């Protein structure tokens, strides 16, 4: 009971810290009360701090939206609850290290005249481009640059000077580390596809020249990514 009371106190403080979002006219609605009950139940069950932070962001988004029926509250909560911690941490990494480069690339495209004068909004074009950009290509580049034993960066990590050849033991350890990291990333990618955050897309040649499955964000994935801002 003491443990639950501590978390109830956290919820009370959370409400007090956001008086604008929890105005009386909002919290009195039947629709909001149902959503807040869902938040409370999930929060009291949750033991992962990162997930508790995201639950708070989800319910804050729910308070601000006009048409609450269109807000995918249950789906966002379900996705978060089902997501494993390693995959959540990978998604947070993606948001911080992978997504910004894609956003910059898209923003440069959107600066072109045809988009500025389009009858569709810049936000519409941005979202449309985001769900059609390969998310796997920049992840693959990151894996290669960070873990491939053929890069000078990895050689330096294992104590090799520029131009120095690998010893059998050190190369074996570097290759094992790369393989383990790729397996870890692939498991998170497959989980995110299952949860509807990512989708598979047809792929020709991938970065590096090989063929294979490509992945992109879904519309729901974009919504979920917005919930993990400022989560470390």
Divide the 232 residues of the chain into consecutive groups of 10 and give the mean pLDDT of each group: 73 93 88 91 91 95 88 95 96 95 94 91 94 95 94 90 87 95 96 97 53 88 90 66
- For 16-25, letters b (16+ CB in 10 Å) and e give eeeeebbeee
- Specify the pLDDT at position 8: 86
Q: Please give the pLDDT value at position 232.
A: 59
User: Please, are residues 159 and 170 in contact by the beta-carbon 8 Å criterion?
Assistant: yes
- Average pLDDT, rounded, for the chain: 90
pLDDT at 111: 93
Which is it for strands 198-201 and 214-217: parallel, antiparallel or unpaired? antiparallel
- DSSP labels, the chain: -HHHHHHHHHHHHHHHT-TTTT-HHHHTSHHHHHHHHHHHHHHHH---HHHHHHHHHHHHHHHH-S-GGGS-HHHHHHHHHHS-HHHHHHHHHIIIIIHHHHHHHHHHHHTSHHHHTSSS-HHHHHHHHHTTS-SHHHHHHHHHHHH-TTSHHHHHHTTPPTTPPPPHHHHHHHHHHHHHHHHHHHHHHHHHHHTTSEEEE--SB-TTS-B--EEEE-HHHHHHHHTTTT--
pLDDT at 208: 43
The closest of 94, 103, 105, 101 to 231, measured between CA atoms, is 94
pLDDT attached to residue 205:
44
- Which pLDDT belongs to residue 210? 43
What is the per-residue pLDDT for 3?
53
Backbone φ and ψ for 73, nearest 5 degrees, come out as: -60, -50
Q: State the pLDDT at residue 98.
A: 95
User: According to the model, what pLDDT value does residue 53 have?
Assistant: 94
- Distance CA(27)–CA(21), nearest Å, equals 9
- Record the tokens describing residue 139, joined without a space: 């992840």
């Amino acid at each position: 009971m003491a443990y639950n009371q501590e978390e109830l106190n956290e919820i009370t403080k959370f409400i007090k810290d956001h008086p604008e979002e929890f105005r009386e006219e909002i919290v009195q609605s039947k629709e909001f009360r149902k959503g807040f009950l869902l938040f409370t139940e999930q929060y009291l069950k949750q033991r992962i701090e990162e997930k508790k932070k995201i639950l708070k962001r989800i319910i804050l988004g729910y308070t601000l939206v006009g048409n609450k029926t269109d807000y995918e509250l249950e789906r966002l909560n379900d996705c978060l609850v089902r997501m494993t911690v390693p995959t959540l941490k990978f998604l947070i990494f993606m948001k911080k290290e992978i997504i910004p480069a894609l956003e910059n690339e898209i923003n440069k495209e959107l600066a072109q005249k045809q988009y500025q004068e389009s009858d569709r909004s810049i936000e519409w074009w941005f979202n449309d481009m985001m769900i059609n950009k390969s998310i796997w290509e920049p992840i693959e580049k990151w894996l290669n640059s960070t873990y491939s034993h053929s890069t000078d960066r990895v050689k330096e990590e294992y104590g090799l000077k520029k131009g120095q050849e690998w010893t059998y033991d050190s190369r074996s350890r570097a290759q094992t580390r790369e393989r383990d990291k790729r397996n870890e990333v692939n498991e998170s990618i497959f989980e995110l596809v299952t949860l509807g955050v990512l989708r598979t897309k047809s792929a020709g040649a991938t970065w590096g020249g090989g063929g294979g499955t490509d992945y992109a964000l879904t519309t729901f994935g974009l919504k979920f990514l917005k919930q993990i801002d400022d989560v470390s």
